[in-house]
Every structure is written in structure tokens, then in C-alpha cells.
Chain A
Amino acid sequence: MTFRTRLLLAFAPVVLVPLLVFGIGVRRAVRDRLAAQYRRRVDALVAVIEEDLAQRGRSIGDRLTSLTAAALEDNRLRLAAVQAGDRQYLLDYAGSAMRLAGLDMLQIQDASGRIVSSGHFRQEFDRLEPALPRLLATVPGGVALVRARTPEGGFLVIARVDSLRLGGTRFTVVGGMAVDSTVLARLARDTTLRVRLETPGGVLASRLADTTAADEIVGDVPLAFVGDSAGLAAARIVVTAPLTALADVRRSMDLGFLIAVLATAAVAVLLGGWLASRVTRPLAALAETAKRVDLERLDVAFESDRADEIGALTRLLGEMTDRLRAGVARVREIERRAAIGDVARQVNHDVKNGLAPLRNVLRHLAQVAREEPGRMPQVFAERQATLESSLAYLETLAANYARLYPETRGVPCDVNEVVRETLRLVAPPDGIRVGATLADGLPRVRADSLVLRRILENLVRNAVEALDGTAGAVTVTTERRDGAIRVTVADSGKGMTRQQLERAFDDFYTTKAGGTGLGLSIVRRLVLDLSGSVKVETQPGQGTKFFVELPAEP
């Protein structure tokens, strides 16, 4: 995980956690307050319904009192009810009285519980239903919810019972007002509240679409209920405040909160990214610079004018690189001295090898001159070849050692010009193409052009020889690269194995017959002397590329 990612991950909780805590707190406070408000509304409506029921009960009672008073004055009714007179008048009486009294249900029963007249269901006369007035008489307050029969079905009424006595016979009068969805809807004028009437037979709601919500505030008004069974049952008017509105508020809050979180998160990410970038960019640049440092390339500059830790780190790295550069120079000097020692020992050995035949010939000639002067010309002629061979060996040896360490002198030098000059002198065998791709406007490098040409001659010759006489191409490319000039010598030859590559720059290591094993070693030393670096990329069968990078002149 990168430092930038860590910074971002650390930044997000810092911004989001307070926001989450704030949002949850607000959400909870709103819910509690709204729920309390709904509770007050429900309680208020329950009180209103209780008062409404009581008022309806009183109103029904007053109307029944008036009806019974009028019935007592009606002689035709008396004749019909007591003397079995005008039966049709009796049967229609309750209907007329019910409409006049503004009731929705009216039933007159005789002492045996036989219906003698019914206003809401004229044809139910002669039915025995003694339980209804009896049960109503036992209800506290005298008011109960009754399921009244009609030909079309049934309907619910708030009913109470009264009685009158005609001709010594007691008649009970049950009257009531309908309770339907309209009545419930009128009670539930607050559209956020719902009223439903629950009876053993079912549920009557203030609105058709009303259903029991999973989350609601409930209040109820209990009622006695007289249904189809013989006893009293329990019913209740239930007031509910579905918390759907609250849920809507919560959903809106959640949506707003989510948007705020997302927006804040986006801002946090951008801000964190910006901050992390400001913090990590110098570190990344420092890392990029440090990545270029190796033993062959210690001219990397670590410079910073920052006063913070990054500036200090940069300067520390610069100092460390300086110390490393000094150490490398000392190591190279030691190496050079060691190499000179090796060469001296090698020269000693080689010269001795060259001198030994000469000494033997000279001793032989001295012996002949001393003992057989006359054979001198003959012997000289016999040993002349040995003398010349030894001298040639020594000359060759001298030439080779002279190439081993040429003198360098640093002056501004045009790399492209040296490449062109070098390639002009190259005479490749048939089938081998030697070409160059030179970048324009390259800065000069500080070097001895002769040294530079030796470097290139060695590399080009090595490349041509790598083709091993087969057709192929050798390409020299120049380019500018990070304050340095890179010269690439590529061939399409046989390439090198890993083992060959590891020893490619060793002195006297060669894979070619007749090779001295000093070409690449000399190249490496000359490049290092120019404060440059040399690298190799190679694959067996894929050719080889030598990269020589030399510091460009400012």
C-alpha cells in the first residue's frame, strides 16, 4: 500500500466519522420528536372519539325517548300492537319513526323478544331476538356496537335500548346510528391518522386502502359488541398513526445525509489526494533520483532548498552520494593500482618470455663467436628467425600494452562527429550493414575524441565480430538521456549467455580465437575515466546492445 493510499485512508475517517455521528444524532432526534408528536395526535383523537361516542349515545337516547313518548300517544299503534289491529301500520311504524328520528336502525320488540316492527329491515318482523335488548341493557353506559341485519347484509350501528309500555305490555325499542367508513373517515380528518373499527367479524377502515402498518402508533377506544353470537363481545375503535410520514422524513434525511457523505467523501478524497500529492511528490522525485544512483553513475545531484524533513533527507542523500563517489574513486584507484600491478607482473612475465629466446640466441651466438667464429654467419642465419620472432613478439606485446591504457585529455567533444568518423574507418565484411541513427542538437561531452573513438572502435569492432561473418546489422544510435548522452551500439549477432555477460568486461576474457580479451575491459576503463557508464543488454541469439552514457556538458 503506498504512502499516498495510507494518507487517504487516514484522512477519510477523520472527515467522515464526525459527519456520521452528527447525522445519526440528528436522525434520532427527529424520529423521537415526530413520534412524540404523533402520539399526542393519536391521544387527542382517541379523546375526541370517546367524546363523540358518548355524544352519539346521548343523542340516540334522546331520540328514543322522543320516539317512545310519541308512540305512547299513538292510538293507532296501540291498537295494532296490543289489539292486533292494523298490522301493516305496525310493521311500517318503525320505518317511519326511524326516518323521522334520524336514526339508521330501529327495532321494536315485544316482551317475548319477537320483533314487531323493524325500521331498517321491515321484513324481519316476527323474528325472535330477545338477546339484543337484554345485552344492551347490561352494557355499562347503555351504548354498544351492534351488527344490524338488512336484506343486503349487515351494517354496524352504535345502539342503545329504551322501552315503553302499551296496554300493560312492555315493548323494547333498540335504536342506533350507523358506523361506516364515512363516519370513521369523518373522525379521522387528520389525514395522517387512520381510524379503523375492529369487531370479531372483521375490520372496517376509514379508508379503503388502509392496512395495518408495521410501524405505527396506536390508541384505541374499547366498545361492547353485540353480533351474531348470544353474548357480548369486545370491539374497539383503533386510531393509528402510521409512521410512514416519519419514514418518509427519515428517507429524505437519509438521502440528504448520503448525498452529504458522498460529497464530503469526494471532497475529502480530492483534498487528501492533493495533500498526499504535496507530501509524496518530493519523496517520489527523491526516490526517482535515488533510483539512478549506482556505482557506475554517481554524478546524480541531490539538491533541495526545503527546510523540512524532505529537504534534510535530500541533502543527506546528496552527502551520502558524495561520500559514495569519493569511495568509488578510491576503489577505482585501488583497482587501477591493482590492475597496474597485474599488468606489471604480466609485462614482466611476457617480456621475460620474449627475452628468454633472445638471451638463448645471444648466448648461442656468443658461444659460436667464441668457439667457432667461422660458423658465425651460418648460425646467425639459423637463429635469425628466432630473433625476429622474439622481437616481433615483443613489439606486439608493446603495442598491446600501449593500447591498454592510453592517455586521455578532456575537451568538449561532439559525440555524433566521433561516431561518423569512427564509422567511416570501418570496413565491414560483405553482408554486414553498419549504420547510425544520430540525434540532432546533442550537447557535447567532455572527453578526448581519440579516447571516445577508441571506445566506439572497440564496440563496433566487437559488434561486427559478434556477427561471426554472417549477414546482419550493426547500428550506432545517439540520444540525450537525463543530462547524459547515450551511445548505443547494437548488433543482430549471436548474443551472450549469462556467464559470458558476467565476464564480458574482465581483462583478457575472450570467446574469439585470436582475441586479446582486452577490448571491452579497455572500453569500460575508458568510459569510467570519462565519468560515464557502460551497460549491456543481451540475449543469446537475439543480439547485444552496449549502452555508453557520458555526462553532457552543461
Chain B
Amino acid sequence: MTGAGFRGIKLESPAPPMTAPRCALLGALIAAAACAPRGAPGPGFLVPPPRSIAPPSACDLPGDSTAAPDTLTVAAPGEIDPAHAPSPVTPGERVLFRQLYETLLRSDCEGRLHPALAATWSSPDGGRTWTLTIADSARFWDGVPVGARDVLASWGAAITSVADSVVASGERTVAVRLWRPTPQGPVALADPALAVAKRVPGIAWPIGTGPYWVTGAAADLTATPVGVRRAVLRWRSAAGDARDLLDAGVDLLVTDDPGALAYAATRTDFTSVPLPWDRTYVAIAPVPLQIAGQGQDDLARHAVRVEARPPVPPVWWEDVSCTAGALPASAAAPDADSILFVQGDPVARDLADRLVALSLVAEPRRAVGLLPDALGVRLASNTGVWYVLALPRAPLDPCAAWRDLAARAPWLRPSGIAPLVDVRRRMLLRRGGARLSIDWDAVPRIR
């Protein structure tokens, strides 16, 4: 196995004899990886630093242009529910919805902003208020042009997590006043929760503006390109053994299943593309927590069975500008005999088990998996005392992410969060597949 390790995207593939096309592809990917983020930002920069609007480059994965397929079969973990659209909940929905629905702006894997529905954006006050002009070409799947009111209607209350006011200043102009200035651009508007769509009664899927429109039910979805010639997407459920998907002809599989990754490494027709580290698993408690570096290394190397690393500081929840109002954690935790995690999350389970096994946190003696709703209730009332959760590693708006976390766990203080491991998924790409771009949240976008 050969590979090129970078802080950003890492490309790995089986180690067959190098062939010319493979060398070309590898070279392109290495070039892409060279543009990955340059390590941890310096003190005071807890979010991606201001970036200039640059043409797409480093996050784009060139496909095999000589054999662009007519159909692309895609699979990613998690169920697909049209009721969630356009705001994804599961990783699978993230991948699918990214092809269907657009935000005003797009942020790539390096944090650079790109026009999407909005053609231009500007701020007269140093980044607090942003005026965005919707592109003339922006249209819904039904051909109706996207107007400012459509955008506001689609956002609804979701915009309040990042902005305190938003107005349609023109038919195609939206003025957004963010909670705090972001001179590098209104990056928070790239959040998929702010994707634009309109619901039509009687139609399950909201009408979007993306390059694909979708038909079918969750078990048999087909995404058809709108206008431009692209490959038709066929969606497959990733439930069950991921290796079976590879054998069944899936062209793009997003997974962190070590069995599938090991299996793909034995297949010469697949390329393994590491996606950015997108999640940080943390232990949270109402008392100050700290996991030593050696413990984090142990967790990353041995405890979890997915690709993991010790968390790379700094972490966004320590951004004092967002959490300055939070009270210090209390000194003692009562009745701390359990550590809770989301049932069905193997990484969280491994981490919770390991914490119990080594007593890295002293009190918990049992690891208990709960369904998401039940965990949410326990988290809100703080009856579980210890929790293992997955947080986004680099949210677009750390303050919005903190507000979201504080809403789920009102008792939580930054000192009560101990990062455990960073994890990421990989893309298994059948050679000769489509061209892709990787967005800020490690979601591939088919170009």
C-alpha cells in the first residue's frame, strides 16, 4: 500500500503495480492533497482564517475523464428520509442532498468560499452585514427563478442560528446581519441547513436548485441530472456488510468500515480516498475533564476501529468569544456511575467502553447505549453525567455550533468537554468514476 499523507486529504490505494493511468490519477490526487489545510491555525484563530475567494483546486478530485460513466451508483451510511430535505441528518443524506440542494455559498474542504446560488456577496461594515445577490442562472428544478423571498421562505427559523436579521432587499438580493462579524465572508451561509428548496404539496421531495433532481423512495432512489450532461446517480442503502456493496457494483462508497476498507485495499478497481477529519469524539461531563495525550493516543490507535487520530488542537469550543458567558464546571459530579453514548455508533461505544475499562474517567463503571431521542432527554436533564458524543471538528460558525450544543446540554461548560479522537471516513471510488469536489464538511460533491 502506498499513500501520501497530508493534513488534509490522504489518498490510499492498494499496491498493485503502477500503471500509467494510475500514476496519472495518483499524481493528480497528490497535487490536490498538497493544497490541504496547513496544519493547525495559530493562537486566536479558532475557525478557519479568512480566505480569499479562489478558484476551486485543491478539493477537486479529477475523475477518469476517459471513461466518464453514464450511471454512478452511490452509497453512504444512514437512512434517507425526504422529510429531512434539504437539511441532512445522516451521513447518507449529507451526500445525497449535497447533489440536490444548494446554499447561497459553498465552502470547500479548505474553507474557501465559492459562489453557489449567490453570484456575489459584499459587506459594508467589516463582515457583520452581508448583501448577497442571487445569480441570474439560479433556478428551481421546475425552471422558476430563485428569488430573495424564496430564499427567506426556505431558511425559515434556521437562519436565526447564524443571523439576527435577514431581509429581502431586492427581488434577488438578500441582506443578512450575522450575530458576529466574519470578515472572511458569510461562511455560515454555506451550512447545508440553509440550503434553498421549496415544498410542493403532494410531492415528497422538496424542489431544489441543485444539479440533480430525485425520484423514488429510500430503497430505490435515482437522481437525474438537470440540464447538464452528467452521470445518473443511483442510490443504494449502505445497511449491511459494506463489502457486499463493493461486490454489487457500487461506484462510490463513503464509509469508515474497517472491513470494507481492508477489502477495498485488496481490490485493484477501487481507490481509497480519505476524507477530511470531520468529527471529534468528546467526553462531556458537568465537571472539568481532561484526557492526557497518551490516553488520547491509546484511544485513537487501539480503542476505535475506524480511522482515528488524537485530537488536533485547538478546538472550537474553547473560542472564548463564543463561550465567554459560560459558567465554570462544577467540582463534583453526583451519581456518576454510567457513561452514555448513542446506540448504533460503534466509535462512541468503543470509546465509552475504553473509558470504563481503563477508568480514564474515574467514576463511570458502565457504558450504556441509548437511542438518540433518549440520549437527548438525558443530555438535557444531565442525568447521565458522562457522555461520549461526536461533534463537528470544524464547524462553519463555532459560535452557532456552541449555541447548538448548549441548547442540547444547558449544563455544559467548555471545561467539561474532553476531546478523545478525531475521525474521518473514506471514499471508495471505482476507478473511472466521476469527478468530485470535497466540501468543508467532508462531503463529496459530484462535478
Contacts and interface: CB of A to CB of B under 8 A. Distances in A.
Nearest to A149: B357
Contacts of B305: 88, 92
Interface stretch (B121-129, B240-248, B274-282, B348-356): B348-356
* Interface bin, chain A: 10 to 19
B396 interface: no
Given A88-B305, A91-B302, A123 B354 contact: yes
B367 A127 contact: no
Interface in A51-88: 87-88
B303 interface: yes
Contacts of B368: 152
Interface in B326-360: 349-350, 352-354, 356-358
A124 B303 CA distance: 9
B357 A127 contact: yes
> Which of A87, A126, A151 has the largest number of chain B CB atoms within 10 A?
A151
Contact of B350 (A123, A126, A127): A123
A92 B303 CA distance: 10
B299 to A, nearest CB: 9
Interface in A102-126: 121-126
A433 B358 CA distance: 124
A122 B346 CA distance: 12
Nearest to A91: B302
A374 interface: no
Interface string B107-119: 0000000000000
Contact of A124 (B258, B349, B357): B357
A88 B350 CA distance: 13
B366 interface: yes
A151 B357 contact: yes
Contacts of B349: 151
Contacts of A87: 301-302
Contact of B358 (A88, A122, A126): A126
Given A87-B302, A152-B367, A121 B358 contact: no
A120 to B, nearest CB: 11
A153 interface: yes
Contacts of A124: 357-358
A117 to B, nearest CB: 11
> Which of B352, B353, B357 has the largest number of chain A CB atoms within 10 A?
B357
Nearest to B367: A151
Given A121-B357, A123-B357, A151 B352 contact: yes
A88 B302 contact: yes
Interface string B204-236: 000000000000000000000000000000000
B354 A152 contact: no
Given A152-B366, A152-B368, A153-B366, A123 B301 contact: no
Interface string A141-163: 00000000101110000000000
Contacts, number: 39
Given A126-B358, A127-B358, A151 B302 contact: no
A123 B366 contact: no
Interface in B282-329: 298, 301-303, 305
Nearest to B365: A153
Contacts of A123: 303, 350, 353-354, 356-358
Contacts of A125: 302, 357
Nearest to B351: A123
A554 B382 CA distance: 112
A123 B349 CA distance: 10
B301 A151 contact: no
A177 B436 CA distance: 51
Contacts of B302: 87-88, 91, 125
Contacts of B354: 123
Interface in B342-391: 349-350, 352-354, 356-358, 365-368
Nearest to B368: A152
Contacts of B357: 121, 123-125, 127, 149, 151
B353 A122 contact: yes
A125 B358 CA distance: 9
A121 B365 CA distance: 13
Interface string B390-407: 000000000000000000
Contacts of B358: 123-124, 126-127
A280 B353 CA distance: 94
Nearest to A121: B357
Contact of A151 (B258, B298, B353): B353
A105 to B, nearest CB: 15
> Which of A123, A124, A149 has the largest number of chain B CB atoms within 10 A?
A123
Nearest to B359: A127
A239 B345 CA distance: 42
A149 B367 CA distance: 12
Contacts of A127: 357-358
A88 B349 CA distance: 16
B291 to A, nearest CB: 14
Contacts of A122: 350, 353
A151 B366 contact: yes
Nearest to A90: B302
A213 B357 CA distance: 39
Nearest to A127: B357
Contacts of A92: 305
A91 B350 CA distance: 12
A426 B234 CA distance: 142
Contacts of A121: 353, 357
A65 to B, nearest CB: 28
Contacts of A151: 349, 352-353, 356-357, 366-367
A149 B350 CA distance: 15
A247 B303 CA distance: 57
A91 B302 CA distance: 8
22 contacts: A87-B302, A88-B258, A88-B302, A88-B305, A91-B302, A92-B305, A121-B357, A123-B303, A123-B353, A123-B354, A124-B358, A127-B357, A127-B358, A149-B357, A151-B349, A151-B352, A151-B356, A151-B366, A151-B367, A152-B366, A152-B367, A152-B368
Q: Which 5 A-B pairs have the closest CB atoms?
A: A151-B367, A123-B353, A123-B354, A151-B353, A124-B357
Interface of A: 87-88, 91-92, 121-127, 149, 151-153
Given A87-B302, A88-B302, 5 more contacts: A123-B350, A123-B357, A124-B357, A151-B357, A152-B366
